[in-house]
Amino acid sequence: MPPTLRLATRSSPLARLQAELVVAALGRAHPELAVEVVTSDTIGDRTQQVALHEIGIRGLFTNEIDALVTSGRADLAVHSAKDLPSSEEGSDLVIAAVLPRGEVRDALVGSRLADLPPGGVIATGAPRRRVQLSALRPDLGFAPLRGNIATRIDKTPVGGAAVVALAALERLALGDRVSEVLPLEVCLPQVGQGVIAVRCAAGRADVVSLLAAIDHTATHRALDAERGFLRRLGGGCDAAVGAYATAEGSDGTIRLEAMIASGDGHVVLRRALEGTDPAELGVTLAETMLVRDGASLLVEVDR
């Protein structure tokens, strides 16, 4: 066991808070363990004026944090699972643990959806959110939205609304700013939304062993199913794709529901499937939607 475990994370308030949740979990599992938090900004943090899909780099919020681990300057990295690239191929790092999942739904800040007038504006930088909301309210307009949570709240259009992950608001004690929580029937979340993931080098058996004590099995299995789905699509943060899995049954059954939409939101496909093997379930559902439902015509498949 290392004398002090070095934990790398982004320097944003939410990232620091999530890192402290991991520190607390490690402290409960290993009271004798000392943990040092190492922070860094990423290219995603430094390019707030550019839409994520325009930057064209996978791992905008994770690459530089992971580099602290691969270079030996940190022993593990804490991420929002939704920020992780869909594939770990070519990486020496693995998701060794995840904490129990937080709230998965999206929330509106500002106006409620039903109270928005025709032509009302919703601020969001996520195609996934835009297409699902426009399918329900095609009369709405949309504005880009980037920045940390406080910045996003401040950028809520006058008379309009901004979409923010409910888990982020709750973790930052900003739940009182929520005007409406969007049901899953209206807006499926991003893959990994609400999950805090911890990565370390696959070859660090000592760190892998430490992290095993804080791993939440049901959440990890659900995340594996969602990531298997996204990996088969080859989708990134610019794809109009959502997925949500639950793995709480005693028989090991996982239920995965997913959404794939055209960029203009005119076509939104949703389908659910159950299985017991997380990765296989995600791949099977993706292939079913690509072939049987014609989703291959809606998304650019990265082969």
Which positions are annotated as active-site residues?
82-83, 128-129, 146, 152, 237
Burial group, residue 49, by CB count within 10 angstroms (0-12, 13-18, 19+): exposed
CA dist 180 and 186 (Å) reads: 12
* Dihedral sign, Cα of residue 76, residue 78, residue 81, residue 82: negative
Backbone angles phi, psi at 19, to 5 degrees: -65, -40
Question: Edge-to-edge strands of the sheet including 141-143?
Answer: 141-143, 121-123, 161-165, 106-110, 178-181
Question: Edge-to-edge strands of the sheet including 268-275?
Answer: 241-246, 254-261, 268-275
What distance, in Å, lies between the first and last C-alpha atoms of the chain? 40
User: Residue 222 has which token pair?
Assistant: 């659900």
